[in-house]
């Protein structure tokens, strides 16, 4: 877990700053070389701005990284580039330009593909639910219509959301240790979960242990969970705290009724609420809250 977190921090926090700093040391011979390099770092930063898990280091740092990169591009232009010729006939420099174009196109593709994850296919049915958490800022850690934004790759969970809670600084945990092993450090842990609809409890499980951070239950994926018949869809909510469920199979529930509390049971890397929906035939259903869909890095404010 710590290695994966360090890798993500390098990729979306340190690497764009290194690329921005290199502008000051690379000896550009033409404006074209600088333009292509600038496209690379801007498009790469756009990609991580959209697709990275920013709650790991602070949600609002995504804005700071983007601003730093854009300012570095503008600064180097006026300090180093403005008086250079636009192009060069030197073949070695043209090779540099060609390689840069390839990297630019790769970054452009990644950026467009990530943006596409915010749109959902119109032909897939959807269900509008009440957001099941209250009192705070909630962050969509996994969500979207493609794998760049949503790691739920199985067919049944294709449009699932994983939701965590943030504080006013955009952090998901109270400890300064990014890799805290204390479940209570995470703001979402033990928070109350409410029914997103009027419905019937089809299944409920309440006895799975809460996992130590860094360990996952690869057999009992959902951990403690409820499955609710909400109108035309079945809604699964998973990873509840052990023995916190207040409902059982065949219970009728009302919208806003307390169901239980967030835990860390099942196949989970840290405390969060998992929610997804399927129809009676087992096909995935898109979940909307207040007629809106969400994807990774979306923020949902609730009173």
Domains of the chain: 2-116 (no CATH), 126-302 (2.70.70.10)
CB atoms within 10 A of CB 194: 18
Contact 8/53 with Cβ under 8 angstroms? yes
Report the length, in residues, of the chain.
303
CB atoms within 10 A of CB 25: 6
Q: What angle do CA 134, 140, 160 make, to 5 degrees?
A: 100
Helix intervals (H) in the chain: 2-9, 15-22, 31-51, 61-76, 91-116
Identify the pLDDT of residue 177.
Answer: 61
Digits of tens for pLDDT over the chain (303 positions)?
566 778 888 888 899 999 999 999 998 889 999 999 999 999 999 999 999 999 988 999 999 999 999 999 999 999 999 999 988 777 777 888 889 999 999 999 999 999 999 999 999 999 999 999 999 999 999 999 999 999 998 998 999 999 999 999 999 998 766 667 899 999 999 999 999 999 999 999 999 999 998 888 888 899 999 999 998 999 999 999 999 999 999 999 999 999 999 999 999 989 999 999 999 999 999 999 999 999 999 999 998
- Give the relative orientation of helices 15-22 and 61-76 as an angle to the nearest 10 degrees: 10
Alpha carbon distance 185, 92 (integer Å): 54
Alpha carbon distance 268, 257 (integer Å): 25
CB atoms within 10 A of CB 147: 12
Is 260 strand, coil or helix?
strand
User: What phi and psi values does residue 285 have, to the nearest 5 degrees?
Assistant: -120, 135
pTM of the model as a whole: 0.92
Q: Which residues are bridge partners to 199 per DSSP? A: 230, 253
């Amino acid at each position: 877990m710590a290695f994966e977190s360090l890798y993500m921090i390098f990729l979306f926090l340190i690497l764009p700053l290194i690329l921005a700093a290199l502008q000051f040391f690379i000896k550009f011979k033409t404006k074209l070389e600088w333009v292509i390099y600038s496209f690379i770092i801007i498009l790469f930063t756009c990609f991580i701005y959209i697709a990275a898990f920013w709650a790991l280091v602070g949600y609002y740092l995504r804005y700071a990284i983007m601003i730093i990169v854009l300012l570095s591009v503008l600064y180097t232009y006026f300090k180093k580039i403005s008086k250079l010729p636009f192009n060069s006939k030197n073949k070695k420099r043209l090779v540099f330009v060609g390689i840069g174009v390839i990297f630019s196109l790769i970054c452009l593709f990644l950026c467009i593909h990530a943006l596409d994850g915010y749109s959902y296919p119109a032909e897939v049915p959807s269900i509008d639910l009440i957001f099941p958490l209250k009192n705070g800022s909630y962050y969509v850690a996994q969500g979207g219509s493609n794998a760049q934004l949503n790691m739920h790759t199985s067919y049944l969970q294709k449009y699932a959301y994983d939701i965590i809670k943030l504080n006013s600084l955009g952090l998901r945990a109270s400890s300064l240790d990014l890799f805290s092993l204390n479940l209570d450090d995470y703001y979402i842990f033990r928070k109350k979960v409410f029914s997103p609809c009027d419905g019937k409890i089809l299944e409920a499980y309440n006895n799975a242990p809460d996992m130590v951070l860094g360990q996952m239950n690869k057999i009992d994926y959902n951990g403690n969970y409820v499955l609710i018949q909400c109108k035309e869809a079945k809604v699964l909510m998973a990873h509840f705290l052990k023995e916190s469920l207040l409902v059982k199979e065949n219970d009728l529930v009302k919208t806003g009724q307390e169901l239980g509390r967030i835990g860390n049971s099942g196949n989970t890397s840290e405390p969060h609420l998992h929610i997804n929906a399927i129809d009676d035939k087992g096909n995935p259903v898109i979940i909307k809250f207040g007629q809106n869909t969400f994807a990774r890095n979306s923020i949902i404010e609730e009173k």
